Structure 1
Amino acid sequence: MMSIRNKVQLVGHVGQNPEIKEFGDSGKLARLSLATNEGYRNKEGQWVEQTTWHNLIGWRFVAERIEKYVQKGAYVMIEGKLVNRDYTDKDNVKRYITEVEVENFLILDKKSADSAGSYQSNGTSSENVIKASEEDENFPF
């Protein structure tokens, strides 16, 4: 039987510095947004660029890596899964949100990789891979 997976891959620019929340001993949560762009020609033949913003979250080890290596403007590729949730806002209105839970990410631009301090890129993509867990050695990129 074929395995069915919830898997998302996005390439884009980070919209703001990650927001980090700590939960005592249970770990960290990182929240950030990612802009992806697609272009097409409209009826008049003009090139139109469309930007889509994606809400990203990362937990525990991923949140720590996001906090350490990712900043506004970074060009990254992420791999994760879609998560749908709902909550009730302060006006008692039920809201729905879709987020991408980041499992792995790759810093694609040398500028962002170089500014990450001890995290240096020599141009090979495998050195830019940030793993979701310390045990994850089978990252597909």
Structure 2
Amino acid sequence: MKNSVNRVTLMGSLGKDPEITTFESGKKKASFSIATNDYYTNDKGERIESTEWHRAIAWGKDAEYVESHLRKGKRVILEGKLTTHSYEKGEQTHYVTEVRCNTLQVIASADTAKE
């Protein structure tokens, strides 16, 4: 695969306030989760909502933007790349997939537009 691309775009709502880590160097990292919703109709004709949760991280100026502008429930659109890492807990290896943000923007929802 000579010309492969790792790019993802998500639009959803934050599930909780972001976690901000400030390192000794002064560089910041923001970690947060985003919920995206999908809808389908089951074989009984009922509309079913399916929610997926995505972990996201932002560094540097993007982390500062997250710290000052994002809170639980805010709707955002982000573009980034998928990254995967693992860690050991006890005798088990856990794998984590995150979206590393390249661009991030708060978007107005129908509820916030009325305020």
TM-based fold match above 0.5: yes
Aligned counterparts of 1:36 and 1:54: Cα–Cα separation in 2? 8
Counterpart CA distance in 2 for 1:21 and 1:49 is: 33
Quote the residue 2:7 is aligned against: 7
Deviations 1:74-106 (A, max 9, x none): 0111101100110112x2321101001111111
Task: Report the equivalent of 1:92.
Answer: 91
Once the two structures are superposed, the pairs formed by residues 1-141 of structure 1 within 5 Å of their partners are: 3-25=3-25, 27-89=27-89, 91-109=90-108, 111=112
Equivalenced residues, count: 111
Distance 1:92 1:25 in 2: 33
CA distance in 1, matches of 2:26, 2:4: 30
Gaps of 5+ in 1: 115-141
Distance change in 2, residues 1:77/1:27 (3 Å): same
- In the TM superposition, residue 3 of structure 1 has moved relative to its aligned partner by 4.0
User: C-alpha distance in 1, partners of 2:71/2:27?
Assistant: 20
CA distance in 2, matches of 1:40, 1:100: 25
Question: What's the secondary structure of 1:10's corresponding residue?
Answer: strand
TM-score by length of 2: 0.89
SS of 1:44's equivalent? Answer: coil
Cα shift at 1:51: 0.3
TM-score after normalising by structure 1: 0.73
Say which structure, 1 or 2, has more relative contact order (CA 8 Å, 6+ apart). 2
Q: Distance in 2 between matches of 1:28 and 1:92?
A: 31
When the two chains are superposed, the root-mean-square deviation of aligned CA atoms in Å is 1.9
Deviates further, 72-81 or 2-11: 2-11
